[in-house]
Amino acid sequence: MCGATASYGFGGNDLWIIKTDSQGNMIWNKTFGGTGNERCYSMGVTDDGGYIFVVCKDIDSDSGTMEDTWIIKTDDIGNAEWKFQIEEEGIQHPSSMMITDDGGYIIAGRTGDMNDKNADGYMLKVSSFHNQRPNKPDMPVGPSKGKTGRDYTFSTNAVTDPDGDTIQLMWDWGDGNYSELLDTTEATYTWSYEDNFEVRVMAIDENGGESDWSDPLSISMPKNKPYINAPFLRFLENHPYMFPLLRQLLKL
């Protein structure tokens, strides 16, 4: 099934795909999106056991000026094999999709605001297309500890693609934020609050095929403890019921 979520993913309302068993128990879920709002309007099961989704990208309720038609093909566990987006001027708002006998896809929609009498219908035929996903990046290399408000740089290996496609990298900083698509194997980030985070990186090829996320690198932003001299610290440790607020601050 497909829908939208604002609780996961990349910002705004993202496409949310959920696979369940026959009892309704979730097997896996995936999100796709950008900083805007995405909504799924049609889906189907492909001949290879994967899935095809037709999405309105950067949607503004049921009308607006930014909507694009976005087609996403995944494998049987929801990994994106390719994406195709119509980015012409104005609105390209999809409504429905069917899989054709030749293995391609036909999409119907409109080219303007639903209340605009000058809006037109459109039909789009997409041919069958096979794209291999990029290889999984290595675990990021970088610091394991840091402080908020400071820049930290991380790197990974030069990722290859089975089809020889151009590769870009996207970083997950573990705090709900993601990088833009980058052409280099290094990225720099600054955390704004203290916590433990996991940094991951994904490779995306020129056709939108996505690799598996790398294994995560853990980084902690520990809270700074106030300076306290050793004799008084030993005094606190030997008198566990005194100064409870100070003990909580020092995490004794």
Question: Given this model, what pLDDT does residue 4 score?
Answer: 79
CATH superfamily label, 151-220: Immunoglobulins (2.60.40.10)
Place of tokens 């999106």: 33
- Give the residue from 10, 47, 59, 12 showing the smallest Cα distance to 31: 10
Between CA 91 and CA 123 the distance in angstroms is 14
Question: Given this model, what pLDDT does residue 112 score?
Answer: 77
Amino acid type, 97:
M
Question: Given this model, what pLDDT does residue 162 score?
Answer: 96
Between CA 232 and CA 243 the distance in angstroms is 12
Place of tokens 């409109």: 110
Task: Give the three-state DSSP class for 247.
Answer: helix
Between CA 207 and CA 101 the distance in angstroms is 23
Question: Given this model, what pLDDT does residue 147 score?
Answer: 93
pTM for the structure as a whole: 0.77
What tokens appear for 57 in the block?
Answer: 């990208």
Question: Given this model, what pLDDT does residue 239 score?
Answer: 61
Question: Given this model, what pLDDT does residue 63 score?
Answer: 47
Question: Given this model, what pLDDT does residue 202 score?
Answer: 97
What average pLDDT is seen over the chain?
Answer: 85
Question: Given this model, what pLDDT does residue 36 score?
Answer: 78
Between CA 108 and CA 86 the distance in angstroms is 13
What tokens appear for 60 in the block?
Answer: 């503004």
Q: How is the chain split into domains, by residue range?
A: 2-126, 151-220, 225-252
Question: Given this model, what pLDDT does residue 211 score?
Answer: 97
What tokens appear for 23 in the block?
Answer: 């009892």
List, for the chain, all residue ranges whose pLDDT scores fall below the cut of 50. 62-64
Question: Given this model, what pLDDT does residue 252 score?
Answer: 52
Per DSSP, which regions of 92-209 are E strands?
93-99, 105-110, 121-126, 151-155, 167-172, 186-190, 196-205
Q: Considering the chain, what percentage of its residues have pLDDT values greater than 90?
A: 54
- Bridge-based pairing state of the strands 151-155 and 186-190: antiparallel
Contact between 27 and 19 under an 8 Å Cβ cutoff? The reply is: yes
